[in-house]
């Protein structure tokens, strides 16, 4: 159940990451959403493993946004 919640939040975070880092996106909406989900999952489990925050803390949302933006930037750099 936690994984489904992380995926849903990741979708929302993909949209937020697109708003934070606007510009031409080579993959469109679906790729941005997938990068948001990937960034959310990665940041959530990495933050928990490192003990940076506990489940349900607002820092997890911020970490997921940062992870998604980083994935979006990396994707754009690799697509050039």
At residue 57, the 3 state secondary structure works out as: coil
Write out the two tokens for 31.
Answer: 């790729």
CB count in 10 Å sphere of residue 9: 20
CB count in 10 Å sphere of residue 2: 8
Q: What is the pLDDT of residue 26?
A: 64
Q: What is the pLDDT of residues 18-59, one digit of tens each?
A: 777 777 766 677 787 888 888 878 887 888 888 888 777 777
Q: What is the pLDDT of residue 37?
A: 82
């Amino acid at each position: 159940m936690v994984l489904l919640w992380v995926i849903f939040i990741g979708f929302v975070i993909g949209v937020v990451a697109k708003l934070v880092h606007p510009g031409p996106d080579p993959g469109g909406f679906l790729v941005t959403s997938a990068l948001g989900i990937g960034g959310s999952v990665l940041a959530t489990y990495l933050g928990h493993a490192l003990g940076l925050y506990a489940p349900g803390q607002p820092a997890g949302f911020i970490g997921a946004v940062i992870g998604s933006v980083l994935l979006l930037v990396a994707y754009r750099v690799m697509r050039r």
